[in-house]
Every structure is written in C-alpha cells, then in structure tokens.
A and B are shown apart, each in its own frame.
Chain A
Amino acid sequence: MTKIGAAIVLLALLAAVVGPTLVPFDPTDQELALRLEGPSAHHWFGLDELGRDILARVLSGARISLIVGLVVVGVSSSLGMLLGSIAGYFGGVIDELVSRLMDILLAFPGLLLAIAMVAVLGPSLTNVILALSLIGWVGYARLVRGQVLRARELEFVQAARALGASTPRILARHIMPTALPAVTVQATLGMGGAILAEAALSFLGLGVQPPTPSWGTMLSYGRTHMLEAPHLTIFPGLAIAVLVLGFNFLGDGLRDALDPQTPGTRRE
C-alpha cells in the first residue's frame, strides 16, 4: 500500500509540474460550440460548461492542490513544532497559554473555523491557506508537546543540559529529532487533509475563484450540469479521491514503518 501511495503522489507531482505542457490545450481556452461535450479521442476528459478541456484543468488543478497542501503543511507544522516544543519544554504559564489556545481551537469541529475565517476575510486562495494553517498547527503542537514532555526527562537530554548546552540547542539537536518521525507521519496525512479541505472550501465557493482551475471549484460548477454532463463531476472528484488516497496510503505505511508501537495502526 505504501508503494502504491508513493507512486500516486509521485505521479501527481509529475502531472502538476509537466502535465499542463503535455496537453495541447490551455486550461482557460474556450470552445463554446463544444461546451459540455463528453470524453472523446480529442478531449479525453471532455469539455466543461464553457468549452474548456477538463484534462488540462484537472492537471492545472493538481498544481493548486499540491501548492496548498505543501504550504499549509509547511506553515502549520513549523508553527506547531515551535509552539509545541516551547510549551512542552518550559511548562508553567507558557504551557498553560498554548494548551488553552489549543483547547479553544479544538472546540471547533474540523473545517468549521476555516469556513468562518474565509467567510469574513473573503474567498481567495491566500485566505484559504491562511485559515487552514492557523487551524492546522494545533495537531502538530499537541503531538510535539507530548513528545517533548517525554523526551526532556531522558538521560541524554539531562546529560546535554548538565554539559551546559543552550535551550535552543537542546530543543533542536536532542529533543526535536525524537518527535520528527511522528511529525513526518502527521505531515503526510496532513497533505491529504489540506487538499481535501481546500477542495471543500472551493466547492462551497469560499476558496479558489474562477477562472483559476481548482478541483473543488470544478466540482461545484459540475454539479449544476450533473444531469446532462456527469463527466464534469466525475474527473475532478476522481483526481481528489486518488491523490488523497495516495497520501493516506503513504502516511499509513510511514506510520507502520516509523512507529510500530502506534496502537491500532500496525498491520497484524
């Protein structure tokens, strides 16, 4: 499963980087006379409501999805690791503050806070990334805080402290490496989550705005023509499902490989 996941992710990366150059159509070019035409030898995935090639738009949409995934995971994991390690290592008031902030953010289910934030900030790709990053750090912080709490009592950390190592050095060189495997797993699964979240927000009209091709926006417009042209819905949805499945396979495999003690995840 891990290999299948890695292959899917690699293919998606390739599709995002070179895919649009392989298709002889621009994702914004319109052939209005052929609008809503089904898949054919010329247009493999068919054409959308404005006569644009769906394959070209799906490939361009892969770029948006992967960019959102990478930026959101990058920002939220960095912020989460920083705040989680500080809270776990220093404890006291700092830990209380970070923990209470995490409690409040966790009191909002899933996407709800992102929907609320984008609703007030205005729909755009930047605001989607901002909202998902500001919410996403909590998962990493909680994970890292737990790891740091455990690691700070370990002998090699106490030895480093006794030898006079500075706090940043202890955190960066001795404690953080113990949390990295778990963070890697969470980041891989988080890529799938961020891609799904961006697509959901775009589907609701709160994310990427037309004419930029996003899988969620394509699905949203496809729904209007669901009866006469189901291919508008089928292909972008398949793209989301396959890519997210790829990240989930990869994340699951990494978890088994890096952390065999995780309950409930190890294959028996």
Chain B
Amino acid sequence: MGRFLARRLLLTIPVLLGVATLVFSLIHLIPGDPAQAMLGEAAPQADVVELRHRLGLDRPLIEQYGVFLKGLVTGDLGTSLRTGQPVTDQIVERMPATFELAAAAMIVAIAFAMPLGIVAAVRRGTVADHAAMTISLAGVSVPNFWLGPMLAIIFAVELGWLPVSGRGTWAHLVLPAISLGAALAAILARMTRATMLEELREQYVQAARARGVSKSRAVLRHAFRNSLIPVVTLLGLQFGAVLTGAVITETIFAWPGIGRLLIQSIGFRDYPLVQGCILLIALTYVGVNLATDMVYGVLDPRIRYE
C-alpha cells in the first residue's frame, strides 16, 4: 500500500515540472517583445525597458526559469502589473469563491445525476431510460455560457426569484451552480446507469433478491453502493472540467473567483496574473487527480498491483 502511494506521488513530480515549464513558457510565446505587448504599442521605450527589467525578461532564459521555479516553491508568483499587488495574494483572496462554486456545482450534479442514472438502469429499455439518457446527452450539448443566461432570464428577470449576479447569500449560488453542474450531471448520469447495469447483473444482487431482500433495497443498498467507486472516480476526474467551466460561469454571473480574475487579467494583459491563475487551476487539477487515484487505489486493491 505504502509503495503504491509513494510510486503515485513520485510519478506526479515530472508532471508538475512539465506544467510549471509550460506555464513559464507562455510569456515567451507572446509574439514580439512581451514587455511591449503588456504596455501597448504606444508605451514609451523607457517604460518598456523598465518593465522588461522588472519581470527579469532581460536575463538569460535559464536564469529566468530558475527564478520562476524558486518563486513557485516559495509561493512568490510575481506582482500584478495592474494593481501592483502580489499575484499569490490576489489568487488566495479569490480561491474560496471558486471552490464554493465548484463544490455547489458538484452537489447539484450528484443530486440530479444519481437518481436519473439509477432509474434509467433499473428501467432499462423503457421510455424512462430513453428519456433520461436523451436528457443527459442534451445536458452535455448545451453550453453553460448559454444555459447560464437562459436561467438568468427565466428565474432572475422574469420570475424574480433569484439574483442575476454577484456573491453573498445562498440565493446567489443557485443559478451559477446549476449552470456549471449541468454538464457534469449529464456525464455522471450516463456513468451511473452504465455501472449500475453491470452491478445489477452480478450474482450477489440476485442472491440478495433470492434471500427475500426487496428490490429497492437490493438496488440501493447492494448494487448502488458497489457502483459508486467508478462514479466517484469520474467525479474526481471531471473536477478539471468544473474548474474550466467556472471560468465561463464566473464571467457570466460576475462571481468573484479565480476564473473571472483570469479573464479580467487577460483583458488587461496582466500576464503575471494570467500565469498565476493558469498555474493554480492546473495544480489544483493535478492534486485532485492524484487524490482520486490514491483513494481509488485504497478502495480497490487490484489497482495497486497493475
């Protein structure tokens, strides 16, 4: 067990290094002079030279890379060009909002998807099954940048039940969470149906039924519990999609999270902040994937020996 966890942790190190390298190289992909691009074409040459020096762009590339990695380890991601504040501080300030939204979206997805997937599996081949799967495929196809405004038109503008944008009360969270969780709910419902179908065919479910266990108990207490492992894994793996979706959802609902900060900083060509946001989202994703893998390894011993 310890060896499995250690091996999985070790395998993450080159990935982390690769992610850091790619994020570091982003600033060097800017066509022409990055400092000039950040300040605009009309900026005085003296300002460009000063910014180039401040960002360390006038040093050898390998030295810049070393400083970047050192900063990463010490939590120093540079300074925002627009506000002059440390990038890390700005990101840390926005993190709770993004995680709150992501968690709410996942709760919404689970609440919708699991009953839908279970009903579809138990009633496979029926109208209910086809309807559930069509709804779920529609859920994957509807973009959240359309669903969000549509929900806002109906529930905020027409009915006046919920606020259009911002963060504060739980009511502010409802529309962004549904908008962000819809696609995940669709994927999760299909996965729940598929794993439930496999479990329902297993002998232990039939044995439980033969012992006189009611159908609903056999489905929920036996088959559903065992189908949870792959479903939970999928939930972990889909966390990245939720984080990316949050970039769009936060922009639509003026939700003050990292996603909105990223889009705002792109608009202001505040590249140190862009790098910081991208890095944090990617590192969170790698971390969640690592945790998912480890939990899976703990729950299913067969994984450890592969």
From residue A202, how far is it (CB to closest CB) to chain B in Å? 10
Interface string of A234-268 (1 = CB under 8 A from B): 10111011101100110010000000000111011
Instruction: Quote the shortest CB–CB distance from A173 to chain B (angstroms).
Output: 33
Residues of B within 8 A of A110 (CB): 240-241, 244-245
Find B243's partner among A112, A116, A122, A204 (CB 8 Å cutoff). Answer: A112
Q: Is the CB of B285 within 8 A of A108?
A: yes
Chain A residues with CB below 8 A from B274, complex form: 116, 119-120
Complex contacts, B251 vs chain A, CB 8 Å? 204
Contact yes or no, A268 B282, CB < 8 A: no
In the complex, which range does the number of interface residues on chain A fall in?
Answer: 35 or more
Q: Which residues of A contact B61 (CB under 8 A)?
A: none
**Among the listed B14, B18, B26, B190, which residue makes an inter-chain contact with A264, where contact means beta carbons less than 8 Å apart?**
B190
Given the known interface contacts A120-B26, A226-B152, A268-B124, the answer about A103 and B15 at a Cβ–Cβ threshold of 8 Å is yes
A121–B137 Cα distance when bound, in Å, is: 34
Question: With A241-B143, A268-B125 known to touch, is A120 a contact of B191 (CB < 8 Å)?
Answer: no
Whether, in the assembled complex, B278 has its beta carbon less than 8 Å from a beta carbon of chain A, the answer is yes
B146 and A219 contacting across the interface, CB-CB below 8 Å: yes
**Interface residues on chain B, number (Cβ under 8 Å):** 58
A192 located at the interface, meaning its Cβ lies under 8 Å from any Cβ of chain B in the complex = yes
B29 touching A117 by the CB < 8 A rule? Answer: yes
The distance in angstroms between the C-alpha atoms of A240 and B262, with both chains bound, is 25
A100–B14 touching, CB < 8 Å: yes
C-alpha spacing A236/B285, complex, angstroms = 31
The answer to whether B149 touches A264, judged by C-beta atoms less than 8 angstroms apart, is no
Q: A115-B262, A223-B149, A233-B146 are in contact. Are A248 and B282 (CB under 8 A)?
A: no
Q: B247 interface residue, CB < 8 Å from A?
A: yes
Whether B141 pairs with A245 at a CB distance below 8 angstroms is yes
Mark each residue of chain A from 103 to 144: 1 if its CB lies under 8 Å from any CB of chain B, else 0.
Answer: 110011111110111011110000000000000000000000
Stretch from B42-50, B52-60, B80-88, B263-271 forming part of the interface with A: B263-271
Is B67 positioned at the interface, with any CB of A under 8 Å from its CB? no
Give CA–CA (A181, B266) in the complex, Å: 40
Does A185 count as interface, using CB distance less than 8 angstroms? no
With both chains docked as a complex, state the minimum distance between the C-beta of A85 and any C-beta of chain B, in angstroms: 23
Q: Are B266 and A241 in contact (CB under 8 A)?
A: no
Could you tell me the distance in whole angstroms from the C-beta of B18 to the nearest C-beta in chain A?
A: 3
Interface residues of A in 189-206 (CB under 8 A from B): 192, 196, 199-200, 203-206
Does A1 count as interface, using CB distance less than 8 angstroms? Answer: yes
Please, which residues of chain A bring their CB within 8 A of the CB of B15? 103-104, 107
Contact A107 B243 (CB under 8 A): no
Q: Which 5 A-B pairs have the closest CB atoms?
A: A109-B240, A264-B194, A237-B146, A104-B18, A245-B141
Q: Enumerate 22 A-B pairs (CB-CB under 8 Å) in ascending A order.
A: A1-B134, A1-B137, A103-B18, A107-B15, A108-B22, A109-B240, A109-B285, A110-B245, A111-B247, A112-B247, A112-B281, A113-B22, A120-B29, A121-B29, A192-B141, A196-B143, A204-B251, A206-B266, A233-B150, A236-B146, A240-B146, A263-B194
Interface residues of A, Cβ cutoff 8 Å to B: 1, 100-101, 103-104, 107-113, 115-117, 119-122, 192, 196, 199-200, 203-206, 216, 219, 222-223, 226-227, 230, 233-234, 236-238, 240-242, 244-245, 248-249, 252, 263-265, 267-268
Known: A109-B244, A206-B266, A234-B150. 14 other contacts (CB 8 A): A104-B15, A109-B241, A109-B281, A110-B241, A120-B29, A199-B143, A203-B145, A219-B146, A237-B142, A237-B150, A244-B141, A249-B137, A263-B198, A268-B125
